[in-house]
Amino acid sequence: MNREEARLELDATTLRPQDASPEARAMAGSDPELAAWLEKRTAFDEQVAEAFAATIPAGLREDILKNARRPARPRVRWVLPVVAAAAAAVAVGWTLFWPATSDMPAWQAESLAAVTKVEYGVSSVHPAHDLESIKKMLVADQSPTPAHLPGSVEAMPVRACKCIQVAGHAASIICFEIAPGKEAHLVVVDSTGLPDVPPQLQPQFKACKKWNTASWSDGNQTFLLATTADVSVLKKLFGLV
């Protein structure tokens, strides 16, 4: 069993860890990166499960069992309400974690939403430990590659990257380790024609729920750096603490 096979198995059993094979559990115990991913993924699934529990009507299980004993045709009468309830619970669950605020520009809101999915393991990334190799990967994919990074941003240890779209513009995410056990996610957007971009080389700081962010522009690129670490850790990267 390789890491990806173990990850897929563990991903399917986050709420039932006893159902994972001993080999997958052993790999999670010996692989720090896989263990960190599993911890985040499990926390996310548990929180969404709580949202489901708070949204599903009382007695739904009994109604399902009762209707399941009826002939096949009438079953359509309860399938749709169940699907609707599940869809509503998923929507409520994501609403709880939606990081954006109403006063954010669209590109910032989409960037932070993409970062949140990466943070909780909902969105896959390409593991990497070298910024230069990440830049080559992004160039090959024709995704934005940071030309310049201010302060100590470029000196942070690299963890992964991902190519995305933000407000209809090509973008990329580079994941760093900003502090022990804490990540920072840098979104780089091709800002040609992008509205509401921040000032050139002047970081703007903002707190959004559990996130602290810094945004700035450099030429035709716009950046959002987001982390759950304390804002002082974020500002230190820019020499402001």
Decide which of 19 and 215 is more confident.
215
Q: What is the pLDDT of residue 92?
A: 43
CB 65 within 8 A of CB 107: no
CB 187 within 8 A of CB 227: no
Domains, in order of start, for the chain: 3-97 (no CATH), 106-236 (3.40.1000)
Residue 51, CB-side half-sphere exposure with 13 Å CA sphere? 19
Decide which of 65 and 23 is more confident.
23
Burial of 114-137, coded b for 16+ CB within 10 Å and e otherwise, reads bbbbbbbbeeebeebeebeebbeb
Q: What is the pLDDT of residue 61?
A: 56
Q: What is the pLDDT of residue 37?
A: 79
Q: What is the pLDDT of residue 117?
A: 86
| Radius of gyration of the chain, Cα coordinates, nearest whole angstrom | 21
**Whole-Å CA distances, 73 to 80, 84, 227:** 13, 19, 51
SS3 for the chain, per residue?
Answer: CCHHHHHHHHHCCCCCHHHCCHHHHHHHHHCHHHHHHHHHHHHHHHHHHHHHHHHCCCCHHHHHHHHHCCCCHHHHHHHHHHHHHHHHHHHHHHHHHCCCCCCCCHHHHHHHHHHHHHHCCCCCCEECCCHHHHHHHHHHCCCCCCCCCCCCHHHCCEEEEEEEEECCEEEEEEEEEEECCEEEEEEEEECCCCCCCCCECCCEEEEECCEEEEEEEECCEEEEEEECCCHHHHHHCCCCC
Q: Can you give the pTM of this predicted structure?
A: 0.65
Burial of 63-88, coded b for 16+ CB within 10 Å and e otherwise, reads eeeebeeeeeeeeeebeeeeeeeeee
- For the stretch 157-187, pLDDT in tens is 999 999 999 988 999 999 999 998 899 999 9
Residue for token pair 């990967």:
137
Q: Average pLDDT for residues 89-115, to the nearest whole number?
A: 70
Give the tokens for residue 211: 């996130």
